[in-house]
Amino acid sequence: MNKTDRAARGCDNGRRFFLKGTAAMGTLGALGALGSGPCGLLRPAQAAPLKGGGYAGGYAVHRQVCPRNCYDTCMMLSHVKDGRVEFVEGDTACTFTGGGLCVKGNSYVGSAYSPDRIKYPMEQQGRGTGKWKRLSWDEAIDKIARKIVECKQKDGSLLGVGLNRLSGHQGVTPNVADGMFASMGYITRLVGTPCWPAGIDAQSYDMGKMLADDPEEMPESRYVILWGGNPAYCSIHSMKYVYAARERGAKILCIDPVFTQTAAKADEYWQIRTGTDGALALGMCRHILDKGLADQSWLAANASGYDEFVAYLRDNVTVEWASKETGIPEDKIRAVAEEFATAKPATIWMGYGLQRHTNGGATIRSIDTLCAMTGNIGVTGGGARYGSLLNYVFTGAHGAFQPPSGSVGVQTTAPDGSVKNARRTLNINKMAEMLLTADNPPVRLLWVTGCNPVSQIFDHQKMLKALARMEMTVVVDLFFNQTVEQADIVLPVTTLFEEWNANAGYWHRWVGINEKAIEPLHEAKCQVDIAKLLTARLNQLSPGFSTFPADADPRTLLMAECGQAMKDHFGIASMEDLLKAPAKAGKPGPAWSDGKYLTPSGRYEFKSDICARNGFNALPVYVPGRKPFGPLRVLTPHAKFGLHSQFINLEWMEDFNPEPIVYIHPETAAARSIRDGDMVEVKARTGATRLRARLTGNMPRDHILLYEAWFRNNTYNCQNLVDEESADMGEWKTGAPGVAIHDQFADVARV
> Looking only at residues 534 through 563 of this chain, which bind ligand MGD when binding is defined by CB under 6 A?
none
Q: Which helix (H) or strand (E) holds 254?
A: strand 251-255
Question: 697-736 mask for ligand MGD (x: CB under 6 A)?
Answer: -----------x---------xx--x--------------
Residue 323, interface with ligand MGD (CB under 6 A)? no
Residue 106, interface with ligand MGD (CB under 6 A)? no
Identify whether the C-beta of residue 366 lies closer than 8 Å to the C-beta of residue 255.
no
Q: In what order do the strands lie in the sheet with 84-90?
A: 60-65, 75-81, 84-90
CA 148 to chain centre: 30
Q: Say how many C-beta atoms besides its own lie within 10 A of residue 419's C-beta.
A: 11
CA distance 323 to 330: 5
Residue 170 near which of ligand MGD, Mo ion, none (CB within 5-8 Å, type-dependent): none
> In the set 188, 260, 427, 657, which binds ligand MGD (CB under 6 A)?
260
Residue nearest to ligand MGD (CB): 168
Residue 256 near which of Mo ion, ligand MGD, none (CB within 5-8 Å, type-dependent): ligand MGD
Q: State in angstroms the smallest separation of the CB of 482 from ligand MGD.
A: 9
Distances (CA, A) of 448 to 174, 306, 474, 629, 741: 12, 46, 6, 33, 22
Residue 532, interface with ligand MGD (CB under 6 A)? no
Which DSSP symbol is given to 159? T
Residue 392, interface with ligand MGD (CB under 6 A)? no
Residue 192, interface with ligand MGD (CB under 6 A)? no
Question: 161-200 mask for Mo ion (x: CB under 5 A)?
Answer: ----------------------------------x-----
* Strand intervals (E) in 311-444: 346-350, 384-385, 424-427
Q: Which stretch binds ligand MGD (CB under 6 A): 138-146, 348-356, 465-473, 561-569?
A: 348-356
Residue 351 near which of ligand MGD, Mo ion, none (CB within 5-8 Å, type-dependent): ligand MGD
> Looking only at residues 459 through 498 of this chain, which bind ligand MGD when binding is defined by CB under 6 A?
476-479, 481, 493
Nearest residue to 197 via CA among 429, 432, 372: 429
Angle of helix 527-541 relative to helix 137-155, nearest 10 degrees, comes to 60
Q: Total binding residues for ligand MGD by CB under 6 A?
A: 58
Residue nearest to Mo ion (CB): 195
Which residue lies nearer to ligand MGD by CB, 305 or 387?
Answer: 387
In sequence order, which residues have a C-beta less than 8 Å from that of residue 392 and are 6 or more positions away? 398, 401, 504, 506
Residue 396, interface with ligand MGD (CB under 6 A)? no
**Three-point CA angle 178, 182, 185, nearest 5°:** 150
> Looking only at residues 261 through 280 of this chain, which bind Mo ion when binding is defined by CB under 5 A?
none
Sign, Cα dihedral of 558, 560, 563, 569: positive
DSSP class per residue in 301-330:
HHEESHHHHHHHHHHH--HHHHHHHH---H
Which phi and psi angles does 121 have, rounded to 5°?
-60, 140
> Looking only at residues 194 through 223 of this chain, which bind ligand MGD when binding is defined by CB under 6 A?
194-195
Q: How many helices (H) and strands (E) does the chain have?
A: 25, 29
Residue 430, interface with ligand MGD (CB under 6 A)? no
Residue 272, interface with ligand MGD (CB under 6 A)? yes
Which residue lies nearer to ligand MGD by CB, 617 or 698?
Answer: 698
Q: State in angstroms the smallest separation of the CB of 154 from ligand MGD.
A: 27
Q: Residue length, the chain?
A: 751
Tell me: cis bond preceding 49? Omega within 30 of 0 counts: no
Identify whether the C-beta of residue 241 lies closer than 8 Å to the C-beta of residue 347.
no
CA distance 456 to 123: 23
Residue 512 near which of ligand MGD, Mo ion, none (CB within 5-8 Å, type-dependent): none
Residue 122, interface with Mo ion (CB under 5 A)? no
> In the set 111, 238, 271, 274, which binds ligand MGD (CB under 6 A)?
274
Which residue lies nearer to ligand MGD by CB, 555 or 580?
Answer: 555
Residue 257 near which of Mo ion, ligand MGD, none (CB within 5-8 Å, type-dependent): ligand MGD
Q: State in angstroms the smallest separation of the CB of 729 from ligand MGD.
A: 15
Residues near ligand MGD (CB under 6 A): 69-71, 166-169, 194-195, 227-231, 233-234, 255-258, 260, 272, 274-275, 277, 351-354, 357, 449-452, 456, 476-479, 481, 493, 635-640, 642-646, 708, 718-719, 722, 741-742
